[in-house]
Amino acid sequence: MTSSYSADQIQVLEGLEPVRKRPGMYIGSTGPRGLHHLVYEVIDNSVDEALAGHCSHIEVDLNADGSVTVTDDGRGIPIDIHPTTGKSALETVMTVLHAGGKFGGGGYKVSGGLHGVGISVVNALSEWVEVTVWRDKQEHIQRFERGIPVTELQVKPLKVPRTGTSVSFKPDTQIFITTGIEFDYTTLTGRIRELAYLNAGVRITFSDLRLELLKNNEPRVETYHYNGGIKEYVAYMNRDKQPLHEEIIYVSGERNGVQVEAALQWCTDAFTDNLLGFANNIRTIDGGTHLEGLKAVLTRTMNTFARKRNKLKDNEPNLGGENIREGLTAVISVKVPDPEFEGQTKTKLGNTEVRGIVDSLIGEVLTEYLGFNTAVADAILDKAIQAFRAAEAARRARDLVRRKSVLESSPLPGKLADCSSRDPAESEIFIVEGDSAGGSAKQGRDRQFQAILPLRGKILNIEKTDDAKIYKNAEIQALITALGLGIRGDEFDSTQLRYHRIVIMTDADVDGAHIRTLLLTFFYRYQRSLVDQGYIYIACPPLYKVERGRNHYYCYSERELTNLVQNEFPANANYTIQRFKGLGEMMPTQLWETTMNPQSRTLKRVEIEDAAEADRIFTILMGDRVAPRREFIETYGSKLDLMDLDI
């Protein structure tokens, strides 16, 4: 390091020290989510360059050493010396908090909310960063360690002229202490696919070059490139459903500096809505003014049409918004110059002006479209009217249930082995498959805080069943009363919940996976907040017991078994392997030790990051169309690989 950097160093420390002190303030957490945000932040910079029209290809590499490289073919981060700081623009962007925006130069700095904190935050939280800029027929490289420049900008002539930026970084294990720095393939590709859909025409290549994931010596390389943008996104989400109308309705426009883009398609075989909102490329999980605008304009426009086309009589009430949205898949993406993100997780768009802009822009286009395509308008209206009648019938069924008080006052199910504790916060319930596993679990548990509910065989498929039948089903009634759930569709009251950990414990085979899916579907469709608020867990029983001499080991995956036998044991070791075919085969003490004891078990909390993907999975697994379901199960086998199961 040259002496001329010592003055800068102090400045740099002042600049980025708060980030290292309180990383959570900048990236949300130092868990897996925060870790992945580092990658998103770097990609977002390249996406901005693409949106400005200067870059067509972005490459993301997960390197074998645990670092990540993001390369683009844009103009390259400027390297000229800033007159006041005396540092290059590149170094300024890398070492000064929020310095990125200054170089934005018009257009949208689309990032916001969770990201958009600037690439300097990535620099601060990385063990090292290396930036390469190709521009002005030269290659410029600078290296940083924990936010501090450790080399000057090194310049070499470029033999083959090119332009662009490449940022490599390795997250700092001193920052990501608890969960480490391993990136998740599905999480990253999910976001990259989303970005490619949201930014039509941008090509993003993803390569996983990590040694342990090499399959048949081939790295996993995936390219995401959608010229149709969010229209293709809707087609992708609906690919296993029956569209009600072929053409996807598409709206795009700009008003008062706010860009609006929406794509909509209704399906005949879907009974929920699936609305995805984005603001400045950030998924707004908690909605906000753009979604409010979309819902309002849909309800108003469709009711106007219903009267115009005599589908509703003068004395009949308006169709409800939820009736109109039944079976609708929609993506709305807005770009707001000055986004406000609200709520605890900053995933709700707050800008009030957006509501009216979305409403008026979409209203104009939709009215014109439906006026020209009356067959489409009629099909959507007929479905909405059907939905309205079904909702009326369901409401009557619910009222009946409520009057009879089946749920509220019914005794706890006989097969429930309840725990002694009455404090839901410390209580757990294990939902197990069959009486045999139930028996082992009952004997193995700690009855103070662990309850066991054995289910007989497969539970009812809630996806295909109407409300009246649901309440009559014995297994579902047992679940509802044991857990203390209310009536479907009612506001979720977490104070009524009898256990704060609801653990699905099924066999590690195809049947077990199916039952787990049925249960997850039940929770997801019946009381989605149970999933969203993190009450649902999956138990991880071992697959193998290995005995060698007086020692025994439990292995929870094939990989663990191979590793144990090949790497931990001497070459000529004598050992036996027992494969557990079901939980019922385990001794109660074994089940306790490996799967139920909080001191030694692993529980996975079910987290559904991508509601759209979850929705699609449940539709495939539970819906009527057999072909995609078979294909899905053949592809993914017993692991629900696409769902993000985190911790």
Nearest of 457, 455, 430 to residue 596 by alpha carbon? 430
Token readout for 183 is 């990136």
Smallest separation (angstroms) from ligand 0RA to the CB of 70: 7
Task: Identify the residue among 20, 75, 528, 604 touching ligand 0RA (CB under 6 A).
Answer: 75
Tell me the C-alpha distance between 506 and 111, whole Å.
42
Binding piece for ligand 0RA, criterion CB under 6 A, among 25-33, 42-50, 189-197, 437-445: 42-50
Task: Identify the residue among 15, 34, 74, 584 touching ligand 0RA (CB under 6 A).
Answer: 74
Asked whether the beta carbons of 328 and 275 are under 8 A apart, the reply is yes
Task: Identify the residue among 30, 39, 45, 366 touching ligand 0RA (CB under 6 A).
Answer: 45
Question: In the stretch 147-166, what mask flags binding to ligand 0RA with x, by CB under 6 A?
Answer: ------------------x-
212 is an active site residue: no
Tell me the C-alpha distance between 355 and 260, whole Å.
11
Buried b or exposed e, range 388-405, using 16+ CB within 10 angstroms: beebeebeebbeebeeee
78 contributes a contact to ligand 0RA by CB under 6 A: yes
72 contributes a contact to ligand 0RA by CB under 6 A: yes
Task: Point out the catalytic residue in the list 139, 194, 433, 475.
Answer: 433
Distance of CA 610 to the CA centre of its chain: 3
Task: Identify the residue among 35, 77, 487, 606 touching ligand 0RA (CB under 6 A).
Answer: 77
Give the nearer residue to ligand 0RA in terms of CB position, either 69 or 521: 69
44 is an active site residue: no
507 is an active site residue: yes
Give the nearer residue to ligand 0RA in terms of CB position, either 105 or 457: 105
Using CB under 6 A as the binding rule, the residues of this chain from 84 to 113 that contact ligand 0RA are 103, 105
Locus of tokens 């979409």: 362
Task: Point out the catalytic residue in the list 392, 408, 509, 547.
Answer: 509
Binding piece for ligand 0RA, criterion CB under 6 A, among 68-76, 299-307, 439-447, 521-529: 68-76
Smallest separation (angstroms) from ligand 0RA to the CB of 120: 12
Task: Please give the backbone phi and psi of residue 249, each rounded to the nearest 5 degrees, phi first.
Answer: -75, 130
Tell me the C-alpha distance between 200 and 232, whole Å.
9
Whether the CA torsion 26, 31, 37, 38 is positive or negative: it is: positive
Smallest separation (angstroms) from ligand 0RA to the CB of 110: 13
Binding piece for ligand 0RA, criterion CB under 6 A, among 45-53, 214-222, 499-507, 584-592: 45-53
Alpha helices in 238-329 (DSSP H): 289-308, 321-324
Task: Point out the catalytic residue in the list 44, 49, 507, 615.
Answer: 507
Smallest separation (angstroms) from ligand 0RA to the CB of 165: 4
44 contributes a contact to ligand 0RA by CB under 6 A: no
Smallest separation (angstroms) from ligand 0RA to the CB of 62: 18
DSSP codes, 432-482:
EEHHHHHHHHHHHS-TTTEEEEEE-SPPP-GGG--HHHHHH-HHHHHHHHH
Locus of tokens 């300097």: 120
433 is an active site residue: yes
Binding footprint of ligand 0RA, residue count (CB under 6 A): 11
49 contributes a contact to ligand 0RA by CB under 6 A: yes
Give the nearer residue to ligand 0RA in terms of CB position, either 45 or 168: 45
Tell me the C-alpha distance between 361 and 355, whole Å.
10
Please state, as a whole number, how many other Cβ atoms lie within 10 Å of the Cβ of residue 491: 7
CB proximity list for 197: less than 8 A, separation 6 or greater: 224, 226, 229, 230, 232, 233, 236, 331
Residues annotated catalytic, as ranges: 433, 507, 509, 511
What residues make contact with ligand 0RA under the rule CB under 6 A?
A: 45-46, 49, 72, 74-75, 77-78, 103, 105, 165
